Copies of this chain bind each other. A is one copy, B any other.
Amino acid sequence: MLSTADAEVIRALRRNGQISRAEISHMTGWSRAKASQEINALIEKGYLVEAGEGISNGGRKPRLVRFNNQLGYIVGIDIGATSLEIALADINGLILRRVVEPADVRQPPEELLGRCSRLILDLAIAYGIHPEQIFGIGVGVPGPVDFTRGVLLAPPLMPDWENYPIRNFFKETFLSAFVVVDNDVNIMALGEQHSSDAANLDHFLVIKIGTGIGCGIMAGRKIHRGSDGCAGDIGHICVDKQGPICRCGNHGCLEAMAAGPAIAEKAMQAARDGKSELLQKMMISNGGLLTPENVNAACREGDEAALAIIRASGQMIGDVLAGLVNFFNPSHIFIGGGIANFGNHLLIAIKRAVLRQSLPLATTNLTISFSRTGSDVGVIGAIMLALEYLFVVKDDPHYSF
């Protein structure tokens, strides 16, 4: 952990390349003596390196310093309900190696995290670096996270993980690493922010539609985690009080009405009711079951029943977003996650519902689009999360580790 001023110097150097001690003194308002002392300490810690001499303005040539790009490496881990993605990046966040594997998050945490550790070691060996050169690990998990403690709280998809010390697990193997844990939609929002288009957006939302429905909130260019770290849990906003019961115990939650399992369930009902021959055939050849992917395939073949189901999901998601647009007034909403990949029918239904119901003032400049960073957005965000906290301002009350 660095002091506020040290972190600022490092950030400035990461932006500007190499600068002189005098420029740092000017930038910070520090006296020459203090600037020299601080810079020497940062060199000693390995954050900065000498970068030769600059051009003289008459007197002695200024001695330059720059950020140490070989300081170490960063790992991003994106744990989804059914998949796992890990990437090794340099200290600037550039991905060097990555691996994607299917995974089952209902496994005990030791097993899944043990596999993550082995995959990280494999990536490190493949790239020829030592595990102690890994300086930061960012982890995204599909459930509510107590951000300051780095643990999952009441995670519906993965009950075994409640309060499991994810951070310590990685710290035991990667001794030099600073580990940060956050939920999957927050790292998506960070990944989106890192994409060139979203870098200058103050307020935006990222919606992940898959097995569940979650929302990452960027407020004033910072992730809004709320007072218990569970902000963005929009999957359990009520859409229909008379709707089906949800795994949270309430009726008609958005997730129970519009997410992947609901789409599959409605398609099976449509098949049973004889509303679609195609869905019926798929269900028979699937051993009596349909997946959301089947519904998507049927939709692509022009099946009316499948299309109606996708559109209805989009409309319900849009109805909820319409309210959130009035409340939060974001400039952009990015739609991602497995179900979002189903394409334009869903996106158009979402847009229509928002435009019909939100106030004109809040929608005039609003853009709703697919998540732009693509499927890597989570792992990129996990890398950004680690980078952000590696050079963190330790006296910020919101960053109390």
Contacts and interface: CB of A to CB of B under 8 A. Distances in A.
Interface of A: 5, 28-32, 34, 144, 153-154, 201-203, 215, 217, 219-220, 222, 224-234, 236-238, 248, 250, 319-320, 322-324, 326-331, 356-362, 364-365, 398
A230 B328 contact: no
B329 A359 contact: no
A398 B202 contact: yes
A234 B5 contact: no
Nearest to A332: B227
Contacts of A326: 230, 233-234, 236-237
A227 B333 CA distance: 12
B224 A219 contact: yes
Nearest to A330: B227
A20 to B, nearest CB: 17
Contacts of A30: 29-31
A233 B217 CA distance: 18
A358 to B, nearest CB: 8
Contacts of A356: 250
Contact of A362 (B215, B230, B329, B362): B230
Given A34-B29, A153-B361, A202 B230 contact: no
A126 B116 CA distance: 72
B233 A359 contact: yes
A226 B330 contact: yes
A222 B365 CA distance: 23
A357 B248 CA distance: 10
Contacts of A362: 226, 228, 230, 233
13 contacts: A30-B31, A144-B361, A154-B360, A202-B398, A219-B224, A220-B222, A220-B224, A225-B329, A231-B327, A236-B326, A250-B357, A323-B323, A323-B324
A229 B362 CA distance: 9
A119 to B, nearest CB: 30
Nearest to A323: B237
Given A220-B224, A234-B326, A237-B327, 12 more contacts: A5-B29, A29-B29, A31-B32, A203-B224, A215-B327, A230-B329, A231-B328, A236-B358, A236-B359, A237-B322, A248-B359, A250-B357
A357 B323 contact: no
A224 B153 CA distance: 27
Nearest to A250: B357
A233 B327 contact: yes
Contacts of A29: 5, 28-31, 34
B238 A365 contact: no
A227 B319 CA distance: 20
Contacts of A224: 203, 219-220, 328
Nearest to A248: B359
Contact of A219 (B215, B220, B229, B320): B220
Scoring A154, A232, A248, A326 by chain B CB atoms within 10 A of each residue's CB, the highest score goes to A326
